[in-house]
Chain A
Amino acid sequence: MTLLALSAGASSSLPFLIVGIWVLLLAVFLGFEVIQKVPPTLHTPLMSGSNAISGITIVGSLYCASADYPILSTVLGAAAIAMAMVNVVGGFVVTDRMLQMFHSKDRKTPSQKG
């Protein structure tokens, strides 16, 4: 059924699946290229920063709050929104905290905590 739709659509514009795979392919190559250059010193911030980026699924969860989704979907969407926001806000803030430490010696006021 979808195969029919796929071949029918191919004449005018590409189906999303094909476009999506294109994007996926290029993004994976880009990702490998970019991330290989990150030095070990920054692996923890890279990890928690990219972790925050994986919270992009928040975009999907906002769709689930739409009126034309059944109520159960909306409930799942609400849970997804809350969890994705913990991931996004927590991830970026914690990464920022870590990275500030790398700069603390530039401010010439070393903060000796704990």
Chain B
Amino acid sequence: MLAMLSMHYLVELGYMAASALFVLGIIMLGKVKTAARGNRWAGVGMAIAIGGTVLLLITDGAWAPRSYLIAIGAGAAGSLAGWWLAVKVPMTSMPEFVAFFNGLGGAASMCVALAEVPRAATGHDIEGVDMTTLADMGGVDFAVADGLSVVIGAVTFSGSMIAYAKLAGKLNGNRIGVLGRQQVNLLLGVICLGLAVWGDFFAATPATLYSSNGLLTLAALVLGVGLTVPIGGADMPVAIALLNSYSGIAAMTTGFVLQNNLLIVAGSLVGASGIILTQIMCKAMNRSLANVLLGGLQEAAAATKDEGYTKVKSTSAEELAQLLDAATSVIFVPGYGLAVAQAQHKVRELATLLEKKGCAVRYAIHPVAGRMPGHMNILLAEADVPYEQLFELDKINDDFKNTDVVIVLGANDVCNPAALKDPKSPIAGMPVLEVWNARTVVVVKRSLSAGYSGIRNELFQMDNSLMLFADAKKALEETISELKAL
């Protein structure tokens, strides 16, 4: 008895250590020098949490032989799959895989919460009574937490899978049928609430317990699809950050189901992290979260879509090479097009060439460039671009006027002057990179087509801007060889 008690204390101490390691890990993730170590510390925290839990369950005698089989089998299968995916994924596919992993975390929380349903159905905890509601079994707080875990876990799962499909280019349509409409989502939300109340407080027979919670899971999964389907393209960073936060909240509510403080601490940290990133992304677009979630921009923008450009000047790689040869300062502005063209290594190659000629090279990173927070930073880091050369919007915006050449690579809305000059523009007030202040702006883009927001970009026909119509990678390759030939 005493041994068992002390084992409980020991494992509780382990959970505390794990919580501390998670917090320290995230603190260390805040500095480039310590980030890798921070991530490993958090990993150690996770190992302690898992090891401690297994130890506790074994010493408590809670585990039957089948438990070992399941834990080892499922654990090994999951670990191998996760490791294989993590090693194999190319850096350019990072946004979709973060979404994918995130979805599985949500699904796991959902399954843990659902696992309580068969316990109530078998009348497990109440002696002599075989009709038990979830609230009878664990109390009101338990029932509420369990319902929340199922709903939030399911929304995280299906929402993340839609985000994954969209980011991987497997799903393009902005809306699927009626799904994604505000009223439909509201209705689904009400249905979830009703089913949760029924499933957690009133369903007492196996038949009603299973059907209510089964329907609840289904409704929440559909709600997750409905909430994510209207969010597209450049709004993806917001969607991913928000789903990341949901997976944390799901883990946190699961902590209340299992009465486990470690889950509450870890879940809240992740929840807070996702919410902060969501806020940063919304601010960077000068839009409210509601506006992003409801896909409001597309409809507002549709009207201004098809206006032609009249005085666009196009250029060639040869001309760009000559421009660069004479330049003493160059700023690259990368966007999603860079990731699509996988041109990060070519940018680095061109930058190295320019630096050898004594030209100062910097990169201007807009917070929502790409498809997830920090997407461009990761992409350029892969190509060994020193992170000291990457500048945030407010740190570099005043420097454009002293810059010879700005090369915009597959970015559009993040450097649209309409945001500052046209108060009626759908992106009015969005902080943008003021690239047009440079002596010359070269926009490398495959066509004049509008960016995600669907609005025209005056930048394309400004007096000091040149368009280089090409795939980013190809354009850079040609420029490099032209520059070498000079």
B441 within 8 A of A: no
A24/B264 in contact, CB under 8 A = yes
One of B170-178, B386-394, B408-416 at the interface: B386-394
* A48/B98 contact (C-beta < 8 A), A23-B261, A68-B124, A92-B46 known: yes
B255: nearest chain-A partner, CB-CB: A20
A51/B272 in contact, CB under 8 A = no
B54 within 8 A of A: yes
Interface positions of B from 255 to 295, Cβ below 8 Å from A? 255-277, 280
A45/B39 in contact, CB under 8 A = yes
B485 within 8 A of A: no
B202 within 8 A of A: no
* A85/B82 contact (C-beta < 8 A), A34-B26, A58-B108, A70-B124 known: yes
Query: Per a CB cutoff under 8 Å, which of A37, A41, A63, A83 touches B374?
Result: A41
* A86/B118 contact (C-beta < 8 A), A54-B266, A57-B254 known: no
Per-residue contact bits, chain A 63-80, to B (CB 8 Å; 1 contact, 0 not): 111111111111011111
* A51/B251 contact (C-beta < 8 A), A20-B256, A65-B70, A80-B111 known: no
Interface positions of B from 358 to 383, Cβ below 8 Å from A? 365, 367, 372-375, 377-378, 381-382
A14 within 8 A of B: no
A50 CB, min distance to chain B CBs, angstroms = 4
* A32/B74 contact (C-beta < 8 A), A44-B377, A66-B67, A67-B64 known: no
B374/A42 in contact, CB under 8 A = yes
What is the CA–CA distance of A42 and B26 in the complex, to the nearest angstrom?
Answer: 11
B251/A49 in contact, CB under 8 A = no
Interface positions of A from 9 to 45, Cβ below 8 Å from B? 16-17, 19-20, 23-24, 27-28, 30-32, 34-45
B342: A residues at CB distance < 8 A: 114
A99/B104 in contact, CB under 8 A = no
Query: Per a CB cutoff under 8 Å, which of B25, B77, B104, B382 touches A101?
Result: B382
What is the CA–CA distance of A98 and B380 in the complex, to the nearest angstrom?
Answer: 11
A47/B372 in contact, CB under 8 A = yes
A114: B residues at CB distance < 8 A: 90, 342, 345
A78/B63 in contact, CB under 8 A = no
A8 within 8 A of B: no
A105 CB, min distance to chain B CBs, angstroms = 5
A93: B residues at CB distance < 8 A: 82-83, 86-87
B49: A residues at CB distance < 8 A: 56, 58-59
Query: Per a CB cutoff under 8 Å, which of A51, A79, A99 touches B105?
Result: A51
What is the CA–CA distance of A94 and B254 in the complex, to the nearest angstrom?
Answer: 25
Query: Per a CB cutoff under 8 Å, which of B67, B118, B269 touches A65?
Result: B67
Query: Per a CB cutoff under 8 Å, which of B42, B247, B272 touches A49?
Result: B42
A55: B residues at CB distance < 8 A: 46, 105, 108, 251
A86/B271 in contact, CB under 8 A = no
* A98/B262 contact (C-beta < 8 A), A35-B276, A86-B81 known: no
* A27/B86 contact (C-beta < 8 A), A49-B25, A83-B104 known: no
B71/A65 in contact, CB under 8 A = yes
The SS class assigned to the A binding surface is: helix
Query: Per a CB cutoff under 8 Å, which of B31, B102, B256, B260 touches A87?
Result: B102
B264/A23 in contact, CB under 8 A = yes
B23 within 8 A of A: yes
The SS class assigned to the B binding surface is: helix
A77/B70 in contact, CB under 8 A = yes
B46/A77 in contact, CB under 8 A = no
B186 within 8 A of A: no
- Contact residue range for chain A? 35 or more
B129 within 8 A of A: no
What is the CA–CA distance of A16 and B82 in the complex, to the nearest angstrom?
Answer: 34
B112/A44 in contact, CB under 8 A = no
B105: A residues at CB distance < 8 A: 51, 54-55, 57, 83-84, 87
What is the CA–CA distance of A68 and B179 in the complex, to the nearest angstrom?
Answer: 41
Per-residue contact bits, chain B 76-110, to A (CB 8 Å; 1 contact, 0 not): 01110111011101110010011001101101110
What is the CA–CA distance of A95 and B122 in the complex, to the nearest angstrom?
Answer: 42
A34: B residues at CB distance < 8 A: 23, 26-27, 30, 269
A5: B residues at CB distance < 8 A: 139
B104/A86 in contact, CB under 8 A = yes
B110 CB, min distance to chain A CBs, angstroms = 8
B377/A41 in contact, CB under 8 A = yes
What is the CA–CA distance of A36 and B386 in the complex, to the nearest angstrom?
Answer: 23
B257 CB, min distance to chain A CBs, angstroms = 7
B218 within 8 A of A: no
* A44/B269 contact (C-beta < 8 A), A60-B257, A87-B105 known: no
Known: A31-B268, A60-B257, A70-B119. 8 other contacts (CB 8 A): A23-B265, A27-B264, A28-B271, A40-B280, A42-B377, A54-B250, A67-B64, A86-B78
Mark A residues whose CB is within 8 Å of B: 1-3, 5, 16-17, 19-20, 23-24, 27-28, 30-32, 34-74, 76-105, 110-114
22 pairs from A and B in contact (CB 8 Å cutoff): A16-B259, A27-B272, A35-B273, A42-B374, A47-B241, A53-B42, A53-B46, A53-B248, A54-B102, A55-B251, A56-B46, A60-B258, A65-B67, A76-B114, A76-B118, A81-B75, A84-B108, A85-B79, A86-B101, A86-B104, A93-B83, A96-B39
